[in-house]
Amino acid sequence: MLTPENSPKVSIEVEMKKSYLDYAMSVIIGRALPDVRDGLKPVHRRILYAMSDLKNDWNKPYKKSARIVGETIGRYHPHGDSAIYDAIVRMAQDFSLRYPLINGQGNFGSVDGDPPAAMRYTEIRMMRISHELLKDIDKETIDFVPNYDESTVEPSVLPSRVPNLLINGSSGIAVGMATNIPPHNLSEIVDALTALIDDPNLTIGDLMQFLPGPDFPTGGIIYGVDGIIKAYQTGRGIIRIRAKVDIENEKKKGSGGEIIVVSELPYQVNKARLIEKISELIKSKQLEGIRYARDESDRRGMRVAIAVKKDYQAEVILNKLYKHTQLENTFGIIILAIVNNRPELLNLKQALVHFIDHRKLIIVRRTRYDLRKAEERAHILEGLKIALDNLDEVVALIRKSRTPAEAKQGLVETFTLSEIQAQAILDMRLQRLTGLEREKINAEYDQLLKDIAWYKEILGSEQIVFNIIKDELAEIKEQFGDQRRSQITSDTKQISMEDMIIEEDMVVTISNGGYIKRTPLSVYHSQHRGGKGKTAMETKDQDFLAHVFVASTHHNFLFFTNMGRVYWCKVYDIPQAGRVSRGKAIVNLLNFTENEKLATVLPVEEFTPGHFVIMATKNGLVKKTDIIAYSRPRTNGIRAINLVPGDELIAARITDGTQNIFLASCLGKSIRFHESDIRASGRTSRGVKGIKLGAGDRIVGMEVLSYGETLFVATENGFGKRTSINEYTLQARGGKGVITIKTSARNGLVVSILLVEDDDDIIILTETGKLIRIHVNNISKISRNTQGVKLMDLDEGERVTAAVRLPEKEESKDPELDNYPKQQLLIKE
């Protein structure tokens, strides 16, 4: 009797390790991973064996699913009924298995994610291909093991004439490992197996000539072969699958739009959730240009219609759908299976070789069984032939025997028969004594001798065994083979906006209220100094035009905010609108936080190492950081500069490391220094002092100086001037600077500085949304310490808010404009 004193002492660490390993192996071997030979997990194997026991064959009436579930639970698989029924459902779904193993009648779910009906409502029977997994199971081809309560036995593996592991694939999560084997085309697998039998030295590359890649039940298009090659060579790889789509013209009159029609989805993508996701993206304005997305599927097949707005291109919308939805999906391949009761990661050739070895063993064991049965039958027929040749003596001996045992013993002793032969003679019916029956016995015996010779020949030649495997595979291919459903294409470049949109300069305008748009630069024609200007953006009360920039549609935009964050966007992603349109709210493009406002935008053609972003803050700090640090912002932005409380980022520029920096303040002060005075620092650094500001002063602009340019200054009252940059001497960073323009009562405060050349144009903006475009050579070049000239007539209370340089001079495209007076506005309505 065990007591606390004499009970064994066990370390809890040792016990935990042992118990967990036992649990892990139970999950790995008995639940989550398929066997490499038949491609089945225990639950699937037990379901099929239970159906076979119940004669639930493909050509017999259906049986209730609950009947099969009960039989499986009671005899082989003592787990929950829902787990077993879920396995049955998956084996019956033609969108889950490439070659379904169960023929279901009733609701077994849908590609929309609809749940199946309860097991009491549905009916099932085996598919014809399932019989090929069980064929020859009664010929001692596999080992049987006791079931969970040792009341009966169950197969440890199925004979499986079908390479089920690869044609139907498998997925499962064990302890510390997982498998995710994609389905393949049966015909291609058979071709690869046949080729490998003929030449065992074939490489994986050679095998891919017969088996190019997975073949999913839902079709779709597999993009790129690199992932397939890696998976087949190493057992792990990732492939990219896209939906099959067509673009149709909408038949509705006057619509003029296109419709993206989805007819095939990537494997395991839920159609209903896909449509919901597209609708959410439309509602949240993340996907512009889509009118609706709806399911038009019917008995003829799948059809998801996505209607594109008239002014948008379907290819561009489709590219965004690939990016943001499961119209493009990835499939991570992990070819992990149970080999000799151990989990093993396999490459393609190993998986095929294991199946060939399995079939070789099955055929050998089947042949041994057939040989033994044939020899046993031949032995009996030899006894029957002896009895027929000595019929009178046999009859006389039996008649005079008092008991069957005495007759049996007499036959053994008299005719030198075995007991089995003697018993067969005693069991022989009288009709076998006819001449016809005698001929049948002789014919059967002769055939058995031929069969025995054939069986021995099989067992004596490995090549014959391989030929039998090939013949059986050829039969399987002929009976169940079909065409590939998933198309495989080389990895091609995605259709990008650059491919679809003509490169042209755009005027990007942003209002103080947060509205943004882009308009082709060609909309604006030149006018002369002193004009009134026309409205460039329609504004509401208390809103005004705050920023305007010019950049190519193909450039990147870095959006720097006053709070020191940076966001990334393509110019073509900014909504295009007419000259007087307000545009759209900037929150549809950028995830600004509360109180965050746009400070500046930098068009970037490409992110080149060795180039820098120079930033200036309101309080006169400057900072230099390599541009690569800003090449991959996140959706919610990244930190561009670390600001102290009360300071704001007011400008950012791109340099090559060799240029001069110019800062200007609202009180007309400025400083010029070389950027080498600023040590390059990290993205989240604070920066150093650029200029020493007086009381009430603040920085309004920063420029990077280039040779041959002049500096343009604009004040809030519509005055300004040009000054040669040579008048601004190079100083050390951190000084008080020199005067740029007199900030008298007439001029007001400085609002903007620009570097310009003689053939540039300048756009000047007011807070009410007016815009005027001026040739730079119409503005006088005067000295630094002066007040400047009038640039724009302003209404009472109106003030200038910004100015921007246009990089290219534009010639007039309207001959009527040449007849206008010099001061007449030349912007067309």
Mean pLDDT of 320-330: 92
Residues in contact with 363: Cβ distance below 8 Å, sequence separation at least 6, in sequence order: 458, 465, 468, 469
Report helix, strand or coil for 333: strand
Question: Which letter does DSSP use for residue 781 in this model?
Answer: B
**Of residues 189 and 391, more confidently modeled:** 189
Mean per-residue pLDDT over the chain, rounded: 86
Strand partners of residue 570: 556
Question: Which amino acid belongs to residue 739?
Answer: I
pLDDT band at 737 (very low <50, low <70, confident <90, very high): confident
The band of 496, judged by pLDDT with boundaries at 50, 70 and 90, is low
Work out the average pLDDT over 555-572. 83
Say what percent of the chain tops pLDDT 90: 48
Give strand ranges (E) for 380-533: 487-489, 505-511, 515-520
Neighbour count for residue 186 (Cβ, 10 Å): 25
In angstroms, the CA 67 to CA 452 distance is 42
Rounded average pLDDT over 644-670: 89
The confidence score (pLDDT) of residue 471 equals 96
Which among 68, 62, 70 is positioned nearest to 106, based on CA atoms? Answer: 62
pLDDT band at 813 (very low <50, low <70, confident <90, very high): very low
Q: Which of 20, 121, 148, 292 is catalytic?
A: 121
Which residue has better confidence, 571 or 579? 571
pLDDT of residue 707: 60
| pLDDT tops 60 at residue 495 | no
Question: Could you give the CA distance from residue 743 to residue 716 in angstroms, rounded to a whole number?
Answer: 10
- Judged on CB neighbours under 10 Å (0-12, 13-18, 19+), 365 is middle
Exposed/middle/buried for residue 78 (C-beta within 10 Å: 0-12, 13-18, 19+): exposed
CATH 3.30.1360.40 boundaries in the chain: 244-326
pLDDT given at position 812 = 38
Within 8 A by CB and 6+ apart from 507, the residues are 518, 519, 520, 521, 523, 524, 536, 548, 549, 550, 763
Question: For domain 506-819, is the CATH number 2.120.10.90?
Answer: yes
604 or 691, greater pLDDT: 691
Largest CA distance in the chain: 150
Give tens-digit pLDDT for 191-209: 999 999 999 999 999 999 9
Whether the pLDDT of residue 553 is over 70: the answer is yes
Contacts of 692 (CB under 8 A, 6+ apart): 620, 734, 735, 736, 737
684: pLDDT strictly greater than 90: no
> Residue 818: pLDDT above 60?
no
Angle at 711 between CA 705 and CA 716, to 5 degrees: 130
Q: Where in the chain is the domain with CATH 1.10.268.10?
A: 363-480
> Residue 124, Cβ neighbours under 10 Å: how many?
26
Taking CA 285 as the corner, what is the angle to CA 283 and CA 288, rounded to the nearest 5 degrees? 110
Q: Of 160-164, 687-691, 709-713, 736-740, which has the strongest mean pLDDT?
A: 160-164
What is the rounded average pLDDT of the residues 760-779? 82
Mean pLDDT of 611-624: 91
Q: Taking residues 323-352, report their average pLDDT.
A: 95
Is 121 one of the catalytic residues?
yes
**Range 363-480: architecture per CATH:** Orthogonal Bundle (1.10)
* Distance of alpha carbon 739 from alpha carbon 670, whole angstroms: 6
- Domain 244-326, classified CATH 3.30.1360.40, yes or no: yes
pLDDT tier at 512, thresholds 50, 70, 90:
low
Decide if 34 contacts 165 (C-beta within 8 A). yes
Looking at residue 543, its pLDDT comes to 55
Non-local (6+) Cβ contacts of 567 within 8 A are 558, 559, 561, 590, 591, 592, 633, 637
67 contacts: CB under 8 Å, gap ≥ 6: 54
3-state SS track over 674-728:
EHHHCCECCCCCCCEECCCCCCCCCEEEEEEECCCCEEEEEECCCEEEEEEHHHC
- Tell me the average pLDDT across 556-579: 81
